[in-house]
Structures are given as structure tokens and as C-alpha cells.
Chain A
Amino acid sequence: MSIADATLVPIARHSWLTPSRAAGLALLGLLALFALLGPLLVSVDPTEQDFAASLTPPGSDYLLGADHYGRSMLARLAYGAQLSFGMALLTVATAALPGILLGLLAAWRGGLLERALELVSAVLLALPGLLLVLILLAFAPGTFGPLYLGLALTLWIEFYRVTRVTAAGVLKQPHVEATRLLGFKTGYILRNLVLPEIRPILITLAAFAMSTAIIAISTLSAISVGLRPPTPELGAMIVELLPYYAEAPLHVLMPGILIFLLVLGLQLATRSDLR
């Protein structure tokens, strides 16, 4: 609540690195290591089959067991993590950049430009995202390019909308006017006044977008328009192994667990401390 003497109350300058954030970042760090170093350390070819080892349980000579083709789960998980996380990251980056820039532009310029952008985003939003992805995929089935383009095309809108609204709110405040009167230029204002304000919400958004991207990719492989086999992609792995859930539940779970850990890490690391 607002108390005039708020300035008296010593502000608990609790550090930016809350326990939950720390845990989240640590988790993300570990996953990153696994995704980056895993493929280097695991010498096994993730596509090499050994029917004799079909569905070997974890332990034994396959550390994490082998899938139905007798391919090393460890190797596939490592490569899969690299691919899936990499793709998600790239997709979100590609969606966020134009989204944020256009959002800032609309909020800053306003007027006709803003209206136009609003319309475009509205129409795009009205166009089923699934349709976009499917159609783009049809140009080069089973490849990453269109998949990622399609997802980015559907994801950028949210970044745009959020950025525009928040930025417009900030730009209306007097301290922006004051700063401009003091002779600062647009660049400085956007960089030092607007960005700090919208950063937290954008980070949260990006975290969600990343999980969305991963799930979306796996979902697409579920309707067999995903990446071409035998590419190890976490979602595709779940889909491939799903029929064997009764015999080898662990195998189905493993890629799922990786995705879960990533989402968990993202959520913890970007958790808003509304306390």
C-alpha cells in the first residue's frame, strides 16, 4: 500500500538472484552442457541400429538403454537435446527480434504505421497458425527450415503485441518527456528507459514461447509432418516410442523428462517474484 513515508522503510534490496532463479539457471546450465558436450562425449552414432538390443532397459552395456531399433538412448537423448533445444532457441529468437522491434516501432511512431501493423498482426492471428506451418512444411517436408519459419511466423505476434502495449505505456510517462527535453535521442530512450521496463515480461514470454515451440515441434511429428527419421528430436522420439509405452515406459518418459527439465528451468529462472 502507498504510505507517504515509504522512503523511510529501508528497502530490502534482495539480490536479483533469488533461490528459485539460481536453481533455474543452474538447471538450464546443466541442460546446455548436456546438449553441447553430450554429442561430443558420447561416441556412439545415434542412428546406429542393433536389433539384438531392441528395447534394452537402462543399465547393462547401454547406459540409458536402447530404443526399439536398439539405438543408444543416451546418444539419441544427447543429440536430441542439442537439436530440440537449439531449434526452440532459434525459433524464439527469430520470433522475438522482429516482434520486439516492430512493437517498439509501432509504440514510438504510432499513427498510420501502428494501425497498419495492428491490422497485419490481427489478420495473421486470425489465420490458423497450424495452416501456416503445414503449408510451409509442404514445400520442404521433413526439414527444419519451414518448420522453424512457420513457428516463428505464428510466435512473433505475441511478442509484437506485448512490446507495443507495454512500450506505449512507458512512452506516455513524464520521465520520457523529461529525458527528451534534456536532449537525449530516441535510441537512448528506447534502450535505457523502455527496454528495462519491458525486459522482465519479455523474458517470461520468451520462456513460454520456448516451451511452446518444443511442444509444437513434437506435436507436428505426432501427425507425421515433423522432421525426417532417423533424426533424433525429443518430441519425435516420444512419438516413435509411444507404441511401446506398455513394455518400456521408461524409454518413452526419458525424452519427456528432458523437455520437462527444460521447461522447469525456464520457468524457475524467469519466475516473477510478485511477493
Chain B
Amino acid sequence: MNAPVRFQSLTVSGLGISSGDTTIVRDVAFTLAQGRPVTLLGASGSGKSLVAHAIMGSLPAGLVAHGAIKLDDEDLLATSFERTRARWGRTIAILPQEPWLALDPTMRIAGQVGEVHRYLHGRGSAEAQTCMRADLTEVGLGNRTQAYPHELSGGMCQRAAIAVTHAAGACLVIADEPTKGLDAALRDSVVERLRQEVDQGRLLLTITHDIEVAAALGGMIGVMLDGALVEFGPAAEVLERPRHDYARTLIAADPARWAAPALPPPGEAVAAARGLSKRFGERTLFDGLDIAVRRGEIVAIVGPSGCGKTTIGNILLGLVTPDRGEVQRAPDIAQIRFQKLYQDPPAAFAPHQALRQGLGDLLKLHGLPWSQAEASMGRFGLGQELLDRRPNEVSGGELQRFAILRALLLDPVFLFADEATSRLDPVSQKQVFAILVEAVRARGLGLLMVTHEVALAEKLASRILRLPN
């Protein structure tokens, strides 16, 4: 169902966000209008999500926004919290990042969409039912109305969230990292949805670190760096001829534009498996699969999420035992020289432990000197000040680099990078892989990378193993 077009444009001018006396976001200004969506690009920690929540009026406690945010001629910042709240859903809707976390796990999606009609628009339950059905059918979930969030894929959850915003009938939609953690196929479908929103005459503001998403959405692109909008202009222009250095690096960081790595011929196999098969419950992930990773080569496994990519890596590491098939790891090589990088960097660190502590313990355990750690920190562009922070106080890129550092200290022969950069912005992604490729070249590390980004795999991998769904 089409949203009534009530608003023509959103104008942000001189927007700043501060916590106490420290300013986090500085004079951000842009305008988005019908048919001309805006996409904010930037590393995580650049302040783009804060801008989104400033517009929404849902900044975390302790953060204050100043400046002007005009929806047509109403200044959103000037209104009381009650009016702001009254605007939620009806006028402005936000597509949450990681929607599978944003949906109530104990309620069928029918309920979660229906309640909007029931309690926001005060429709009768029967009417609400039909509307709900319509909304979900429109996003292609007509047959799953009775499903619980945990029974839906990430993309489906995202679409369910979209159905919610439709139900609410908002005409300004803010998509906050809508493709975070989604594989290529799902990502495209979500982007497709967002385009339709624009076609239906909604105002769209998208927050992302994925350049392809920005490109696909068109309209205007803004690039944010350390809380400032360093570049703003039409999509094509920004993507072709970025003016600001960071913008340039950012655009250049798109895997599509990388230079292929020059690798020496690979050495002997460090980890190999023959005739692997694994099933989860009813589903067979793979059957009779062969794989080998040799020193100094990069092997990539690509495929949609849930196809068992990660499981293969874990089998090679010996974390999972296959139902059938045999695994050989290079003999007389210590177990600790087989390492792994995780998709979500914070998840790979003890949340309560300052990085210094963890690193120190590691060095002590293996009798390594601090100097070595410090040296590589320098090389990986990690400041000493990070050491005293907890994992959740460090940006994803930095943390992932730290994880690599941690792994490389043990001089691994095999490294399993499990979606190691899917949650990072292009720049960080590029830095991470630069380090990894260097390690492969210099130390003859065997790298097994699992990803859903075909482009990335094609750019880097010596061999690619494609898994069907």
C-alpha cells in the first residue's frame, strides 16, 4: 500500500551532537527530497548512525543534538519529546540494524505488524488483520505471517521490519545499516526494497558502509569522517570523482577496485580434507567435499549464508568433527599454529578484559617479549592507547586488526578468516586484507577465507570453492 505523500523534503543544517562538553558530531548539513534519497557512507564510529537517531529523536541518554532538522518547515529538534514520539512510525520510521534483534523474539510477526494497525491507527482487529496480511504479502512474507523471528532468515526479518514501517505509514524512512551481516543475495533484495520505497514517494535516508549499496541506491551520497560530513554530492559524482582524501580512500577501498595480490607459488598442504560430509538435523550441508590449503596460498569459500561455509573451516581447525571424511593437518606442527579470525570482532575477545591484559597473558603463556607485540602494533597502525580499552570500546576495524596481530604472534601456518571483514567498512576491510596478504606472502601462511562477497573472493583468492545453497 502506498504511503500518502505528506512531506517534500528533509533539511539538516548545522547539526551537531555533543555528550556533555565533548562534541561528537559537527555541523552536518544535507537535504533529501522526494525521489532523491541520501546515503551516508563512513566507517563505523564516524557518527553517521548518530545523525540518523538525531533525526529520529532517539539519541541515547546523555547525547544532545543542536542545529536544525527541518521536515518541510517543522523543526524536529525544536519540538517536545511527546511530539517527537508521536512522530515515530506515523511520520518517521527507522529500519533497525540487525532486524533479527529488533523484532520481539516471543511474538509472531503477524502480531508485530498487526499491532501497528491496531494501536497506532486504532483499526478494528479484523481490519488490522487484513491490513497486516497486505503489508506482509507486499514484502513477500504473505505465507509466513505466523512465523516467529527466529524462524526467519536475516533478509526476511529485514523485510518484516519494512512491513512494520509500511504499516505505520511513515513517509520518511531511515535505514540504519540495513545490510549489516547480510550476504550478497539478501543485500541486493533489501536494496531493491529500499528503491521501491523511494519510488513510492517516501523520503529515504540510508546509513551504510557498503559502497555497492550506496551506488545501487543512487540519489545523493554523503561521506562522514570522525563526526563530520566531509563530502556530499550526487551519487555518480561522488563515486567517480571524490574530492576529499578520505572519500577517495573510501571509494578506492571497494574490493572491486583493488589490485590483485602477487603471491609466490604455494608450498606443501598444511590442512586438507577428503570426502567431507556434514548434516545439521535434516539438512545436509555438504557431502563428499574435498578441500586443501597449502602454504602461501589464499583459498576462498563463497556461498550464501547458512550453506555450511564456516563449518568447513571449523572442521579443518578440528573444532567440528565431520560425519564422514578424513582430515589431515601438517604433522609435527603445533596445534596453536592453526588460528581463526571471527566475523564479529568483539565476540572474539573477553568482554571484561582490557586488551593489554589479554595480550599480556598470551605473551606470557608462550614466552614472547612485549617488544614483538609493540612492533607489530606499530605496523598494523594500532595506537598504544587502545591497550587499556575493553573490546567494546574499540572500533571493529581496529579490533579485527588486533585479532590478526594476536594470531600472527603465534606464527600460524594456517589461518581461517571467517567473514573476517563483513562487518567492517571498506577502508578497514582493505587494511585488514593488506595485512593478511602480507602475512601470506612473507611467512607462507595458508589463508582460508570464507565470505559471501564474490567480488572480494575473486580479487584475492588463488582458488575459490563455491558452495550451492
The answer to A–B direct touch (Cβ < 8 A) is: yes
Q: Which A residues have a C-beta under 8 Å from some C-beta of B? A: 1-12, 173-175, 177-179, 181-184, 188, 192-193, 196-197
Stretch in contact with the other chain, from B55-63, B75-83, B111-119, B137-145: B55-63
B414–chain A nearest beta-carbon distance, Å:
11
A2–B350 touching, CB < 8 Å: no
Chain A nearest CB from B421 CB (Å) reads 15
Known: A5-B50, A7-B394. A174 touches B24 (CB 8 A): no
Contacts of A11 in B (CB 8 A): 393
C-alpha spacing A175/B390, complex, angstroms:
14
A237 to B366, CA, bound (A): 59
A4 touches B60 (CB 8 A): no
Is the CB–CB distance between A197 and B50 below 8 Å? no
Q: Are B352 and A197 in contact (CB under 8 A)?
A: yes
User: Which residues in B have their C-beta under 8 angstroms from that of A197?
Assistant: 351-352
B380-411 Cβ-contact flags toward A at 8 Å (1 or 0): 00000000000011110000000100110010
With A175-B350, A177-B319, A182-B362 in contact, is A7–B53 under 8 Å at CB?
A: no
* Chain A residues positioned under 8 Å from B361 (CB to CB): 184, 188, 192
Residues of A within 8 A of B350 (CB): 175, 179, 192-193, 196
B49 at the interface (CB under 8 A from A): yes
Q: Which of A6, A8, A10 has the largest count of B CB atoms less than 10 A from its CB?
A: A8
A181 to B353, CA, bound (A): 17
In the complex, which residues of chain B have a beta carbon less than 8 angstroms from the beta carbon of A184? 361-362, 365
**Nearest Cβ distance between residue A99 and chain B, in whole angstroms?**
22
Least CB separation from A1: chain B residue: B60
CB distance from A207 to the nearest CB of B (A): 21
Question: Residues 348-373 of chain B: 1 if any A CB is under 8 Å from the residue's CB, otherwise 0?
Answer: 11111100000001100110000000
- Tell whether A5 pairs with B49 under 8 Å between CB atoms, given A173-B347, A196-B352: yes
Pair B45/A7 contact, Cβ less than 8 Å: yes
Residues of B within 8 A of A10 (CB): 19-20, 22
23 A-B pairs, CB-CB below 8 angstroms? A4-B44, A4-B49, A4-B176, A7-B44, A7-B392, A8-B24, A8-B50, A9-B60, A9-B62, A9-B63, A10-B19, A11-B393, A12-B62, A178-B348, A178-B349, A181-B339, A182-B339, A182-B410, A183-B365, A188-B361, A193-B350, A196-B353, A197-B352
Taking a contact as CB atoms under 8 Å apart, the answer to whether B347 and A175 are in contact is yes
Q: Which residues on B sit within 8 Å (CB–CB) of A8?
A: 24, 45, 47, 50, 227
Residues of A within 8 A of B319 (CB): 177, 181
Flag whether B340 is at the interface (Cβ < 8 A): yes
Query: Quick one: which of B9-25 are within 8 Å of A by CB?
Result: 19-20, 22, 24
Top-4 shortest CB links A-B: A183-B336, A4-B49, A196-B352, A178-B348
- Once bound together, how far apart are the Cα atoms of A189 and B101, in whole Å? 28
- B-chain residues with CB within 8 Å of residue A196 when the two chains form the complex: 350, 352-353
Q: Are A183 and B49 in contact (CB under 8 A)?
A: no
Picked from A12, A174, A181, A192, the residue with its CB within 8 Å of the CB of B338 is A181
B24 to chain A, nearest CB (A): 5
Q: Which residues of B contact A6 (CB under 8 A)?
A: 392
B342 partner residues in chain A, CB cutoff 8 A: 174, 178
Closest residue of chain B to A184, judged by CB?
A: B365
| B317 sits at the interface (CB 8 A) | yes
Q: How far apart are the CA atoms of A230 and B352 in the complex, in Å?
A: 50
* CB of B98 closer than 8 Å to a CB of A: yes
Known: A2-B101, A11-B393, A175-B349. A183 touches B47 (CB 8 A): no
B117-144 interface bits toward A, Cβ cutoff 8 Å, 1 = contact, 0 = none: 0000000000000000000000000000
* Those of B311-358 within 8 Å (CB) of chain A: 317, 319, 335-336, 338-340, 342, 344, 347-353
Size class of B's contact patch?
35 or more
A9 touches B24 (CB 8 A): yes
When distances are taken between beta carbons in the complex, the residues of chain A under 8 Å from B394 are 7
Closest residue of chain A to B342 (Cβ to Cβ) is: A174
CB atoms of B336 and A3 under 8 A apart: no
Provide the bound-state CA to CA distance between A6 and B349, in Å: 17
Known: A174-B347, A177-B319, A188-B361. 4 other contacts (CB 8 A): A5-B47, A7-B45, A8-B24, A184-B361
| CB-based contact A181/B340 at 8 Å | yes
- The reply to whether the CB of B97 lies closer than 8 angstroms to some CB of chain A is yes
Complex Cα gap A97–B365 (Å):
28
CB-CB under 8 A from A181, the residues of chain B are: 317, 319, 336, 338-340
- How far in angstroms is the closest Cβ of chain B from A62? 52
B46, CB-defined interface residue at 8 Å:
yes
A182 touches B349 (CB 8 A): no
B159 part of interface (Cβ distance < 8 Å): no
**Complex alpha-carbon distance, A188 and B362, angstroms:** 11
Contacts of A12 in B (CB 8 A): 62
- Greatest chain A CB density within 10 A among B50, B180, B366, B410 is at B50
CB B463 to nearest CB in A, in angstroms, measures 24
Q: Across the interface, name the chain A residue whose C-beta is closest to B347.
A: A174
Asked if B353 and A192 make an inter-chain contact with CB atoms under 8 angstroms apart, the answer reads yes
* CA gap between A181 and B349 in the complex, in Å: 12
Tell whether A4 pairs with B177 under 8 Å between CB atoms, given A193-B350, A196-B352: yes
Specify which chain A residues have a CB less than 8 angstroms from the CB of B50 in the assembled complex. Answer: 3, 5, 8
Q: Is B48 an interface residue (CB 8 A)?
A: yes
Closest to A6 in B: B392
Give bound CA distance, A102 to B2, whole Å.
Answer: 60
Residues in chain A near residue B353, CB distance under 8 A = 192-193, 196
List residues of chain A with CB within 8 A of the CB of B63: 9
User: Contacts A7-B44, A8-B45, A178-B340 hold; do A1 and B58 have CB atoms under 8 A apart?
Assistant: yes
**Which among A2, A7, A183, A192 is the interface contact of B98 at CB below 8 angstroms?**
A2
Instruction: Give A150 Cβ to nearest chain B Cβ, in Å.
Output: 36
Q: How far is the CA of A7 from the CA of B386 in the complex (A)?
A: 12
- Across the interface, do A182 and B62 meet the contact criterion of CB distance under 8 Å? no
Question: Looking across the interface, which residue of chain A has its beta carbon closest to that of B318?
Answer: A181
Closest Cβ–Cβ distance, residue B288 to chain A (whole Å): 27
Assess the B176–A183 pair: CB atoms within 8 A: no
Contact of A5 (CB < 8 Å), options: B20, B44, B348, B403: B44
Q: How far is the CB of A32 from chain B (nearest CB, A)?
A: 28
- Give A48 to B172 CA distance when docked, in angstroms: 82
A181 to B362, CA, bound (A): 11
Nearest Cβ distance between residue B61 and chain A, in whole angstroms?
10
A residues less than 8 Å from B227 (CB atoms) = 8
Q: Is the CB of A4 within 8 A of B97?
A: yes
Q: Which residue of B lies closest to A3 (CB)?
A: B49
* Cα–Cα distance between A174 and B344 once the two chains are bound (Å): 9
Give Cα A224 to B100, complex, Å.
58
- Complex formed: what's the CA distance from A184 to B58 in Å? 42
A196 to B97, CA, bound (A): 29
